């Protein structure tokens, strides 16, 4: 639920968590003692497993609100969910994410672009590097440019463990 950019050293610690509600619920003493409600109006549809790549196709804040209405995920804005998803995709290191992250690096706001650049650096394939090199020539935001430079430099904070 952090609002800004995640510090680079924290990003790997997110592992595969896009949103931390499960951990909070598991630790909360009130949750452990609670029971499932019998009132249907207080139940929500569970989100089994988020398709991280599909999150990037939710093209507007309105569509984000429609998709996650009735879930705790609605507490996070679209850009926060995309920022988190980019970090998780980087942590997973799956090259199938490169085209989606490349599009995010071009089309999304600076916060998401920064984290998409970091994720591409973590993935580290030739295709990911080409995307970063091309985007560096066009990127005007100084913070995003710095993320791209760091991702291309292969600094220790961008390499998967």
- What is the 8-class DSSP label of residue 3? -
Q: Is the pLDDT of residue 50 over 80?
A: no
Q: 71 φ, ψ to 5°?
A: -125, 160
Non-local CB neighbours of 58 within 8 Å, separated by 6+ positions: 64, 67, 78
Non-local CB neighbours of 78 within 8 Å, separated by 6+ positions: 58, 60, 61, 64
Pick the more confident residue, 16 or 45: 16
Q: Is the pLDDT of residue 156 over 70?
A: no
Confidence of residue 108 (pLDDT cuts 50, 70, 90): very high
Q: What average pLDDT is seen over the chain?
A: 84
For the stretch 81-100, pLDDT in tens is: 999 999 999 999 999 999 99
pLDDT average, residue stretch 58-78: 84
Q: How many CA atoms lie within 13 A of 54 on its CB side?
A: 5
Please name which of 36, 51, 42, 31 lies closest in space to residue 70, comparing C-alpha atoms: 42
pLDDT at 46: 47
Helix (H, G, I), strand (E, B) or coil at 117: helix
Pick the more confident residue, 65 or 34: 65
The Cα–Cα gap between 43 and 70 comes to 8
Please name which of 14, 1, 11 lies closest in space to residue 121, comparing C-alpha atoms: 11
- What is the 8-class DSSP label of residue 40? G
Confidence of residue 27 (pLDDT cuts 50, 70, 90): low
The Cα–Cα gap between 69 and 73 comes to 8
């Amino acid at each position: 639920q952090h609002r800004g950019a995640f510090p680079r050293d924290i990003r790997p610690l997110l592992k595969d968590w896009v949103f931390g509600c499960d951990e909070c619920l598991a630790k909360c003493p009130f949750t452990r003692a609670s029971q499932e409600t019998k009132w249907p109006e207080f139940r929500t549809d569970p989100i089994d497993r988020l398709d991280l790549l599909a999150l990037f196709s939710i093209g507007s804040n309105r569509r984000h609100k429609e998709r996650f209405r009735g879930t705790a995920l609605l507490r996070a804005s679209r850009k926060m969910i995309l920022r988190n998803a980019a970090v998780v995709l980087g942590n997973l290191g799956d090259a199938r994410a490169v085209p989606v992250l490349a599009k995010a690096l071009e089309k999304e706001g600076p916060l998401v672009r920064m984290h998409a650049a970091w994720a591409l650096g973590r993935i580290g394939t030739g295709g990911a590097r080409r995307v970063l090199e091309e985007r560096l020539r066009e990127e005007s935001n100084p913070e995003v440019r710095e993320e791209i430079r760091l991702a291309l430099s292969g600094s220790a904070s961008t390499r998967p463990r």
